Structure 1
Amino acid sequence: MHLVVTQPKENYIVDYSKQPDAEIWNDFKKGEELAFSYIYFKFFNDLYYYGLKITNSEAIVQDTIQELFASLWKNKKQLGHVQAIKFYLLKSLRRGIIRHLEQDKRYYLRVSIFRSKQPNIAFSEEEVIILEEASSEKRLHISNLLNTLSKRQKEVIYLKYYENLEFDEIADLMALNYQSVINHVHKAFKKLRKDKEFTRIYLAGKI
């Protein structure tokens, strides 16, 4: 199914960029196409890049995003209350991609990795949050360091510091309890701070 969503105009009657998520969601549930369009274009990139963290298959990511929004529009009246749209969409996308991988025999080896439903997120040097003038060598060093973390630690770090989710949202998305998420963050930073370069950058407030 291919969903066509019209790019929203700048001269909205309602400026959704200034509306809380709950109000935008309620308008969407009522069938307001501008609200739906706003949600699609506002969060598409976040969904796309998170999807590519779960699987490097662009086709699966794009298909899952299209299916997600098509399902949202079709079932809008039956959907519940949503306070944080981004979290809701990321959680739905994660579940949808895993379902795709489990159903596609061509991805058998990937499916075996997903028996615990835990993606193996990888960080690239371009994603490392450091000063703009930081050298490629330093960025590569930090990204390699981040990639030494466990699967769950990497996903928690990505969702917290790249997608800006709250800890309780991360716990819900990853099917963990709240304290487990906190523990993963603490263990991740404990390991990272053993590296002198990371510690110097971290203490300088650049990460």
Structure 2
Amino acid sequence: MGIAYDEELINHAIQTLFTYLFERRKSISVPVSPFAYLASSLRRLVLKEAGKRRNDCLSIDDVQVAGYDFGLEVDAEATMVRAECTEQTVRALQGALNGLTNMQREIIYLKYYEGLDNKSISEITGYADKTIRNVASTALARLRKDKMLGRAYG
């Protein structure tokens, strides 16, 4: 849902993925990381389906331009319970996250929300390990420098 806010498209992609896995269950080898395998397969299918609907192929970098956006939202309730922060802090954090690029939000999501390591993220996104490190580092530096976020937590 972070790539395409189209529930029908997502459901179709999930059904397609599991149909594919079921039909080829005897010939598919067991992946090192089942989560990374499923996530990357589903990501590719969603981008492919979104591209079909727009008559071309999309990458994660193209999704915002094509009307899709990798959404990363702050879970306000969990954030408030953990950090006992105010609504202003949640808004500041959401604003800072919205200021990141699609690629940065996707990597931050996979790294910190899903708890994946760089190798798993690399398998999912197809980006090089070094790219993931650089993008995550740049995104975190950008979040640290965000003035509204600094005021909210300062």
TM-score normalised per structure 2? 0.82
Alignment of 1:58-207 (within 5 A): 58-104=7-53, 107=54, 114=58, 116-118=59-61, 119=63, 120-126=69-75, 130-132=79-81, 133-195=84-146, 198=149
CA separation in 2, counterparts of 1:181 and 1:128? 29
Q: Identity across aligned pairs (percent)?
A: 27
- Runs of at least 5 residues in structure 1 that lack an aligned partner in the other structure: 1-51
Aligned partners of 2:110 and 2:121 also within 8 Å: yes
Cα distance, 1:159 vs. partner? 0.8
CA separation in 1, counterparts of 2:153 and 2:115? 18
**Equivalent residues, number:** 146
Letter paired with 1:177? A
Distance 1:127 1:102, change over 3 A: farther
Larger radius of gyration: 1
CA separation in 1, counterparts of 2:119 and 2:77? 24
Letter paired with 2:109? Y
Distance 1:182 1:199, change over 3 A: farther
CA separation in 2, counterparts of 1:197 and 1:178? 31
Aligned partners of 1:128 and 1:142 also within 8 Å: no
Distance 1:90 1:201, change over 3 A: farther
What RMSD, in angstroms, separates the aligned Cα atoms of the two structures?
A: 2.5
- Runs of at least 5 residues in structure 2 that lack an aligned partner in the other structure: 64-68
TM-score normalised per structure 1? 0.62
